[in-house]
């Protein structure tokens, strides 16, 4: 149990840049080093964690924890993955406000902001490729983006409507 | 006070429940809820949070929940101790749906993942998630993050340049995001 916690704490601590960056680390730790699951199982896990809501890395942790030690294992892995970020960000949040007003910090962050927007814009195209968007389906992301951007519709509704329409399309129109 | 905590809990529970498509898609939900819907912080503050989440280790969803939970309580005028409780609540709330769902799904999904109903649902979800991401980027392209030609032309044009630099660096050359952020931050330090 302690091993599980330690392993996922380590994974949470050393991944930069979000979920997908975590895969190689999980692979080397969980598959090669600890031999808790095999590579094929990991691939299935990735597919499941990707198609479930929530945080990718936490989802994978929960799944592996559950497989090894049932519910307590899942809890320990979820905690282990989240704890490093939580501690680090909390410490930053506690102090950041005090020096955000500093002139140099302000200039640094004014340079950062456009880069942040670019880093969010870039994966749009990568994700588009992975979602197999074609000429027939390109209107879906465009309409979704417009609804949220121009009409202030909550992304929650967009997700709900998209899932339900996909389901309805498959059940009633395609067949 | 308790009402604020309840709102934070409910907001992040929803984000965890409907956050398909990874960290960046989740960012668009957090932004819609926290900035546009509740007004707990400004767009500029939110962008700072994303920058910090990207340059610190750990999943972006956890990072931003922790930070937003803290900041929204402190912005409402409470002390940092209450802010810490806010970040604890937000982080717990964002993980909770995964925990419940994944435990249930661990048992059932393997069996049903190729079921046509599940496949069709995801056929609708995947392209919408791409739209979600695009919306997040578009919403952040505003005067608070870029300034405006009429307001501060120098900052505006430099900002657009930095945006293009980071976008191409990431898309074409797959540069490390943390490196890109640091480079743009230093440019800001020197040029603004």
With a CB cutoff of 8 Å and minimum separation 6, the contacts of B54 are A16, A17, A18, A116, A119, B60, B177, B178, B181
- B21 interfaces chain A, CB cutoff of 8 Å: yes
Q: How far apart are CA A104 and CA A117, in angstroms?
A: 21
Tell me which of B55 and B165 has the higher pLDDT: B165
Percent of the residues in chain B that have a pLDDT greater than 70, as a whole number: 96
CB nearest B167 (choices: A52, A122, A147): A122
N residues, chain A: 175
CB nearest B145 (choices: A117, A161, A165): A117
Helix or strand (DSSP H, E) at B45:
helix B43-55
What ipTM did this prediction achieve? 0.74
**Cα torsion through A16, A18, B142, B74, rounded to 10:** -80
Short-list B30, B171, B46, B47, CA closest to A127: B171
pLDDT at B105: 77
Mean pLDDT on B20-33: 80
Domain ranges of chain A: 2-99, 100-131, 133-175
Interface mutation target, options B130, B181, B182, B183, chain A, most CBs of A under 10 Å: B130
Q: Is residue B150 scored above 90 in pLDDT? A: no
* φ and ψ of B46, to 5 deg: -65, -40
Q: What angle do CA B122, B127, B130 make, to 5 degrees?
A: 125
The pair of three-digit structure tokens given for residue A172, joined into one six-digit string = 């009633």
Q: How far apart are CA A90 and CA B66, in angstroms?
A: 7
Encode pLDDT of A40-97 as tens digits.
Answer: 777 777 767 766 788 878 888 888 898 888 889 999 999 999 999 899 999 988 887 7
Q: Is residue B176 scored above 80 in pLDDT? A: no
Encode pLDDT of B87-104 as tens digits.
Answer: 999 999 999 998 888 888
pLDDT at B84: 94
Encode pLDDT of A144-170 as tens digits.
Answer: 999 988 988 888 788 889 889 988 988
CB nearest B124 (choices: A44, A51, A167): A167
Mean pLDDT on B160-170: 92
Do A65 and A73 form a contact (C-beta atoms < 8 A)? yes
Do A160 and B129 form a contact (C-beta atoms < 8 A)? no
pLDDT at A137: 85
Short-list B144, B122, B126, CA closest to B42: B144
CB contact under 8 A, B131 and A47: no
CB contact under 8 A, B102 and A152: no
Q: How far apart are CA A124 and CA B65, in angstroms?
A: 22
Q: Give A98→chain B minimum CA distance, Å.
A: 12
Residue A174's CB is within 10 A of a number of other CB atoms, namely 10
- B156 interfaces chain A, CB cutoff of 8 Å: no
Encode pLDDT of B100-144 as tens digits.
Answer: 888 887 767 666 667 888 778 878 887 887 887 788 788 888 887
N residues, chain B: 192
Do A62 and A55 form a contact (C-beta atoms < 8 A)? no
Minimum mean pLDDT range among A103-107, B69-73, B176-180, B188-192: B176-180
Q: Is residue A17 scored above 80 in pLDDT? A: no
Mean pLDDT on A115-127: 81
pLDDT at A76: 94
- A84 interfaces chain B, CB cutoff of 8 Å: yes
Domain ranges of chain B: 2-142, 147-192
CB nearest B105 (choices: A48, A114, A128): A48
Tell me which of A35 and A17 has the higher pLDDT: A35
pLDDT at A14: 73
Q: How far apart are CA A76 and CA B154, in angstroms?
A: 51
- A91 interfaces chain B, CB cutoff of 8 Å: no
């Amino acid at each position: 149990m302690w091993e599980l916690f330690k392993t996922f704490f380590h994974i949470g601590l050393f991944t930069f840049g979000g979920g997908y960056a975590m895969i190689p680390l999980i692979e080397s730790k969980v598959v090669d080093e600890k031999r808790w699951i095999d590579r094929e199982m990991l691939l299935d896990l990735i597919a499941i964690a990707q198609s479930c809501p929530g945080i990718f890395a936490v989802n994978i942790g929960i799944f592996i924890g559950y497989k090894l030690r049932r519910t307590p294992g899942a809890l320990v892995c979820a905690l282990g993955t989240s704890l490093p970020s939580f501690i680090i960000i909390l410490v930053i949040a506690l102090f950041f406000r005090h020096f955000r007003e500093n002139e140099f910090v302000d200039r640094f962050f004014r340079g950062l902001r456009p880069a942040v927007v670019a880093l969010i814009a870039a994966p749009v195209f990568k994700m588009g490729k992975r979602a197999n968007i074609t000429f027939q389906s390109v209107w879906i992301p465009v309409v979704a983006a417009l609804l949220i951007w121009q009409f202030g519709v909550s992304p929650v509704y967009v997700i709900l409507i998209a899932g339900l329409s996909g389901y309805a399309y498959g059940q009633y129109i395609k067949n | 006070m308790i009402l604020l905590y309840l709102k934070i809990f409910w907001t992040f529970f929803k984000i965890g429940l409907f956050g398909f498509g990874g960290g960046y898609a989740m960012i668009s939900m957090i932004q819609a809820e926290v900035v546009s819907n509740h007004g707990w912080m400004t767009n500029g503050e939110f962008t700072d949070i994303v920058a910090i989440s990207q340059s610190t280790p750990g999943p972006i969803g956890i990072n931003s929940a922790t930070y937003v939970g803290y900041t929204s309580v402190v912005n409402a005028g409470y002390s940092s101790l209450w802010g810490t409780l806010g970040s604890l609540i937000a982080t717990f709330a964002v993980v909770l749906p995964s925990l419940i769902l994944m435990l249930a799904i661990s048992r059932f999904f393997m069996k049903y993942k190729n079921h046509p109903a599940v496949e069709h649902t995801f056929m609708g979800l995947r392209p919408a998630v791409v739209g979600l991401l695009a919306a997040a980027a578009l919403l952040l392209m505003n005067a608070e993050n870029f300034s405006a030609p009429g307001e501060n032309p120098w900052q505006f044009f430099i900002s657009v340049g930095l945006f293009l630099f980071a976008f191409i660096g990431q898309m074409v050359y797959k540069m490390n995001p943390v490196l890109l952020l640091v480079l743009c931050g230093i440019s800001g330090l020197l040029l603004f």
